[in-house]
Structure 1
Amino acid sequence: MNTNDQGRIAPRRPIILTSPDFRASDIAETEAEYVVRANYAEAIAQAGGISLILPYQSQHIAMLVALGDGVLLTGTTPGHEALPERREFELELIRQTLQAGKPLLGICNGMQIMGEFLGGTFTTSLPDTAVDHIPADIPDRMAHRIAVEPGSMLASIAGTTEVSVNSLHRHALTGAGRFRIAARAPDGVVEAIEGETDTFCLGVQWHPEYHLSEFDRAILRRFIEQSAGRKSQAGSPEACSVRRRLAALGLALPEASVPPGAFVGALTTGNLVTVSGQVPLKDKAVLCKGHLGGAVSLDQGRECARWALLNALAQLELVAGGLDRVKGFVRLAGYVAATPEFTEHGAVIDGASELLRELFPTCWQHARIAIGVGSLPRGVPVEIELTAVTNGGEG
């Protein structure tokens, strides 16, 4: 429990997941270190957040993103390239952060890796102009002016369209992608980007953590405010994280179908919801018909499993009162219409299980059975039933 100097409970600060650099050891591999300059953490603290430094462990990203309120991608050690392990980790961290709808701020190399994820490219040769992008070994002084794009989020933070910034970079972002260029240096080098996403997504080429101007402080404050704001809105229908993840995957829940018989689509018992078997309907039509091992390929079967799961989630949402009320899953049963020779039933139902993991990264685990059958209703190749745990009547 946090308390202030008067002993009163203080509000929880937003947790900012911070990607570090990696420093190898000349002594032994066991002495290698994850490192972050102290002024990153201090700048986050002064803006109202608290930094949590992340190891390069991609298998834990989903859990970490669920824990954090925002993500900061830091720059690399001056004069050093980012390790492949760091690049791979940060690309996955960006993907899951945006999928979860959480604020993202990239600084220097952090902006460049954001731009790469969003479709841009790197250049390692900066223009030969009077603009010095590496004026000193430490970016503790103003280096050049930047032109801020009118109407951009960055312009709303700056309150003007021209400001001075520090600089320490050898690479630059080029090309187009799913981002808007928010600022350029006088020589045309991209100095800031804003992701075309539904959440705060800002990359800056300079180092605002040095707090050389009120503009630098304002950027960090806006990032922390967005992180805190997202946390406070987590329970609202508009902030439904599952629907945001669906949108990030280019998917949407279908309309819950009317059961074609004397049964209900889903039934609640205590805090358990059992969803009746659902077939792969897309736009109220059967996605495909046939048998695995016959006319239906493995990839088609997996896609059918995904759509059958989406239909099951539509029924679950209807009964549970929202997918953000789901606390976990008990069992997923998959039925696969297949020829006698077909044996990859589990691989087909993986299509549903993997989608469940993407949509519910912190509570997707479930028991499962995959059963081969001779035929299924309406001639479909896959049917899915699901049992979920909800928070019942809790708010």
Structure 2
Amino acid sequence: MKKPLIGIIARCELSETKMNLNVVHEAERIAILKSGGIPILILPPQSVEYNSEVPREMKRLSEEEKEILQTQIDMCDGILMPGGDKMYEYDRYVTEYVIQSKKPLLGICMGMQLMCTYNKKITLEANASKICHFSKKKKAHIVYLKEHSKLRYLCRKDHFAVNSRHHRHVVDANGFRVVARAEDGVIEAIEGTEDVFQLGVQWHPELDYEQSEESRQIFLAFINSML
């Protein structure tokens, strides 16, 4: 059986020697491999050093640059939109193109936030709760899954503990269905209303893939949706 090709959106980072890099985090790459997919990197299309740029001050994507992204995405069976610190226009365009193309999508942390904001001028709200949403703990808080949701079905639980690495959160699901919340009401997971697999989670299932059955089931369901 042919393994699905999974495009992971590159994240722009600065190395210890001040070199500008486009990277994929090892945990994401390994989770895709162990779940039966083939990971490849989707690179940004503009001829700039992204780490030196302020996203809102950058030139808009040209039609040619959009086509570069489309060509990369069309090669893939599914897309993983990972977490990160900055949202660039190419992130928003990729999210929009994937959603409109009805291609399988897994959004993690900022990736979920992009699913909720890619086509709207929505300001993410700062976390202000007794629950710590940015923690180095392996298990930071509990998420509660909505009854009859796809996420609850594949995880086989109505609640479980997750890690948490975000400073801000979304307040609107942008047409997606909210399927998990934290105790303080913060949206923790969204899913599409159609048959195609499009899931966003605010936590990082790739970080505890080996320890968490729920995390493994999320990645396995993502890959299996393309088989």
TM-score by length of 2: 0.83
Q: Is the 8 A contact 2:171 2:187 kept in 1?
A: yes
Instruction: Name the structure 1 match of 2:102.
Output: 101
Gaps of 5+ in 1: 1-10, 229-395
Q: How many Å separate the matches in 1 of 2:73 and 2:150?
A: 24
Q: Is the 8 A contact 1:122 1:172 kept in 2?
A: no
Q: How many Å separate the matches in 2 of 1:34 and 1:146?
A: 32
Aligned partner of residue 226 in structure 2, secondary structure: helix
Is 1:144 the counterpart of 2:141 in the alignment? yes
Equivalent position amino acid for 2:9 in 1:
S
Q: How many Å separate the matches in 2 of 1:53 and 1:146?
A: 30
Q: Deviations over 1:222-254 (max 9, x none)?
A: 0001123xxxxxxxxxxxxxxxxxxxxxxxxxx
Q: How does 1:285-300 map to 2 (within 5 A)?
A: none
Q: How many Å separate the matches in 2 of 1:176 and 1:25?
A: 34
Q: How many Å separate the matches in 2 of 1:142 and 1:132?
A: 11
Q: How many Å separate the matches in 1 of 2:134 and 2:140?
A: 8
Tell me which of 169, 174, 186 is aligned to 1:172.
169
Q: 1:38 Cα shift?
A: 0.5
Q: 1:198 Cα shift?
A: 4.6
Equivalent position amino acid for 2:223 in 1:
I
Q: 1:119 Cα shift?
A: 5.2
Aligned identity (percent) is 32
Q: 1:197 Cα shift?
A: 4.2
Is 1:20 the counterpart of 2:28 in the alignment? no
Q: How many Å separate the matches in 1 of 2:143 and 2:220?
A: 20
Instruction: Name the structure 2 match of 1:59.
Output: 67
Aligned partner of residue 227 in structure 1, secondary structure: coil
Q: How many Å separate the matches in 2 of 1:192 and 1:53?
A: 24
Q: How many Å separate the matches in 2 of 1:25 and 1:124?
A: 30
| Coordinate RMSD, CA, aligned | 2.0
Q: Is the 8 A contact 2:9 2:81 kept in 1?
A: yes
Tell me which of 54, 60, 79 is aligned to 1:71.
79
Q: How many Å separate the matches in 2 of 1:12 and 1:120?
A: 40
Aligned residues: 205
Q: How many Å separate the matches in 1 of 2:165 and 2:15?
A: 25
Q: How many Å separate the matches in 2 of 1:120 and 1:201?
A: 22
The alpha-carbon distance between structure 1 residues 198 and 122, as it changes in their structure 2 partners (threshold 3 A), is: farther
Equivalent position amino acid for 1:23 in 2:
E
Q: Is the 8 A contact 2:116 2:172 kept in 1?
A: no
The alpha-carbon distance between structure 1 residues 146 and 25, as it changes in their structure 2 partners (threshold 3 A), is: closer
Q: How many Å separate the matches in 2 of 1:160 and 1:149?
A: 10
Q: 1:181 Cα shift?
A: 0.6
Is 1:124 the counterpart of 2:125 in the alignment? yes
Q: 1:97 Cα shift?
A: 1.5
Equivalent position amino acid for 1:19 in 2:
I
Larger Rg belongs to: 1
Q: Is the 8 A contact 2:125 2:171 kept in 1?
A: no
Instruction: Name the structure 2 match of 1:35.
Output: 23
**More helix per residue: 1 or 2?**
1
The alpha-carbon distance between structure 1 residues 14 and 172, as it changes in their structure 2 partners (threshold 3 A), is: same
Aligned partner of residue 121 in structure 1, secondary structure: coil
Moved over 3 A (4+): 24-28, 118-122
Instruction: Name the structure 2 match of 1:161.
Output: 158
Instruction: Name the structure 1 match of 2:134.
Output: 134
Q: Deviations over 1:6-26 (max 9, x none)?
A: xxxxx3211100012101468
Q: How many Å separate the matches in 2 of 1:198 and 1:90?
A: 24
Q: Is the 8 A contact 2:3 2:37 kept in 1?
A: yes
Is 1:182 the counterpart of 2:186 in the alignment? no
Q: How many Å separate the matches in 2 of 1:93 and 1:37?
A: 19
Q: 1:164 Cα shift?
A: 1.1
Q: 1:120 Cα shift?
A: 8.5
Aligned partner of residue 135 in structure 2, secondary structure: coil
The alpha-carbon distance between structure 1 residues 176 and 63, as it changes in their structure 2 partners (threshold 3 A), is: closer
Q: How does 1:160-239 map to 2 (within 5 A)?
A: 160-210=157-207, 211=209, 212-228=211-227
Q: Is the 8 A contact 1:109 1:205 kept in 2?
A: yes
Q: How many Å separate the matches in 2 of 1:69 and 1:128?
A: 38
Q: How many Å separate the matches in 2 of 1:214 and 1:26?
A: 35
Aligned partner of residue 215 in structure 1, secondary structure: helix
Q: Deviations over 1:258-287 (max 9, x none)?
A: xxxxxxxxxxxxxxxxxxxxxxxxxxxxxx
Q: 1:125 Cα shift?
A: 1.5
